[in-house]
Amino acid sequence: MLIPVLLAGGVGTRLWPLSRESRPKQFLALTGEDSLLGQALARIGDVQDLGPALVIGNDEHRFVMAEQLRAAGMPGRVMIEPARRNTAPAVAAAAFEALAEYGEDVQLLVLPTDHAIGDVNAFVEAVETARASADNGRLTLFGVAPDRPETGYGYIQAGATLAAGVRTVQRFIEKPDAQRAAEYVAAGDYFWNAGMFLFGARDYLDALADQAPAIHQAVAAAHAGAVTDIDFLRLDADAFAASPGDSIDYAVMEGTDRAVMVELAAQWNDLGSWSAVATAAGHDNRGNSARGDVWLEDSDHCVVYSQSRLVATLGLRDQIVVETDDAVLVADRSREQDIKSLVGRLAAAGRSEAVEYRKAYRPWGSYEQIAAGERFQVKHIRVKPGGRLSLQSHHHRAEHWVVVHGTALVTCDERQMLLTENESTFIPLGAVHRLENPGKVELDLIEVQSGSYLGEDDIVRYDDVYGRADAPAAAPTDKE
């Protein structure tokens, strides 16, 4: 059996302001109607003898991972990594879980969730080639023939051909300078490292134990201490945090004599920059890539993305313009690798836009800040059919709720009431309250908060149907 392991724990800072820590790129629809995670799940659907998917990410995004897994119609489970430790420990945890569930012969197909694949049939063929190689105990990675001297990717120098589409690995090269990258493209035996792997779960763990025993030991303990929370598998936090952080390449692949490469000729693209997104999304006849409500005039080789309003350009050359409802980026394309540093400086300056959106997603729906001032805040709350917020109270604020669409079931202390469109209610300071949507359509509600302190840490939670009691009740990150 082949278990797809989808790595969904990255941040994607170079795609700011669209990708942020609160909603990273893998959960966004950058190159189509589906999110990148949704596309990754869809493309593995044609692989034969595929077991349930294992999606790995952090606690903050567990519900969006579960929702996108459900929307894809694919059986699977979400594994929570308590700390970011890079790919080697995360995949080790997946290997321990796969062995426990499916036995010694199980194989893993390890896939990042922030890539674009243009030719799904070629991708499936490469996977089948890699499976045959892994049957022989080899640790397979996928290489992409370069079509340009890219300095942002790692490279693999391929060696002798072992079978059709399978070659030995001579060496790994980290991101080269422009001159060396051009030499690699001209040489013909260098490939981009796609960061995708296929190997037996036991073969990977044996190699890890031999070359990175501290990681193997820590993750073994983390998996042994894992607990099930609703449908989520939570690794033991202390044990996992004790693991060194390292990538699969450094921890295993560079030191093993069992590494082989399968060529991936599937129009692969690592969506790590706005130029990469533009390449995957396509260009017009002047080299521009635009998405959203965009008007381009006398502009060339620009990447323009509009999320919420009209963006018009005039006479621009080689620029990146990205608009969201609370931030706009304008950058020269030659500086796009510096966007990550820019976001770091914004975060250090205390700008919430660096990491958070005004709109936050929750298992019950979403909320978005509309306006705020001294002693007041206004939010748009949307609750999915059947959605139910936690039973809670506040020490420092009162709330006024106005239903604008749908039906709300409101609990306020000992009372329950049904509210429909244009009806409202008041939640006094200190009242124990809950909001639910008992209807079959989405509930839209305007919340007006007033009080001496309006921070989201002013919450006491008494009950929650989504099992979020693991979050400290005194200090949640946002509205629960």
* Cβ 68 vs Cβ 61: under 8 Å: no
What does the angle CA 295 – CA 269 – CA 118 come to, to the nearest 5 degrees?
A: 85
What would the CATH number be for the domain defined by 2-269? Answer: 3.90.550.10
Q: What is the model's pLDDT at position 100? A: 97
Q: What is the model's pLDDT at position 32? A: 83
**pTM for this predicted structure:** 0.86
- DSSP result, 48-103: TTB--EEEEE-GGGHHHHHHHHHHTT--EEEEE-SS---HHHHHHHHHHHHHHHH-
Element (H, E) at 331: strand 328-332
Q: Show me where the domains of the chain are located.
A: 2-269, 274-348, 359-470
Task: Enter the DSSP assignment of 300.
Answer: B
Q: What is the model's pLDDT at position 468? A: 64
Separation of alpha carbons 322 and 278, rounded Å: 12
* Cβ 197 vs Cβ 107: under 8 Å: no
H helices present in 167-298, as ranges: 178-187, 201-211, 213-224, 237-241, 248, 274-281
Q: What is the model's pLDDT at position 331? A: 98
Separation of alpha carbons 273 and 53, rounded Å: 27
The token pair that represents 194 in the structure block: 């796609």
Provide the 10 A C-beta neighbour count for residue 151. 14
Low-confidence ranges of the chain (pLDDT < 50): 470-480
- DSSP result, 199-215: EEHHHHHHHHHHH-HHH
Separation of alpha carbons 384 and 438, rounded Å: 9
Task: Enter the DSSP assignment of 216.
Answer: H
Residue in 283, 305, 286, 285 with CA at minimum distance from that of residue 294: 305
- DSSP result, 364-399: TEEEEEEEEETTEEEEEEEE-TT-BPPEEE-SSEEE
User: Helix 213-224 crosses helix 201-211 at what angle (to 10 degrees)?
Assistant: 130
Best CATH choice for the domain 359-470 from the list 2.60.40.10, 3.40.50.620, 3.40.50.300, 2.60.120.10: 2.60.120.10
Residue in 193, 168, 196, 161 with CA at minimum distance from that of residue 257: 168
Q: What is the model's pLDDT at position 79? A: 97
* Cβ 43 vs Cβ 266: under 8 Å: no
The token pair that represents 180 in the structure block: 């060396």
The sheet carrying 328-332 orders its strands as 289-291, 303-306, 319-323, 328-332
The 10 Å CB-count burial string (b at 16+, else e) for 117-141 is beebebbbbbbebbbbbbeeebbbb
Domain 2-269 matches domain 359-470 at the CATH topology level: no
Tell me the C-alpha to C-alpha distance, in Å, between residue 263 and each of 256, 297, 334, 409: 19, 41, 30, 56
Separation of alpha carbons 424 and 411, rounded Å: 13
Q: What is the model's pLDDT at position 469? A: 54
Pairing, β 397-405 against β 443-451: antiparallel
Separation of alpha carbons 421 and 39, rounded Å: 37
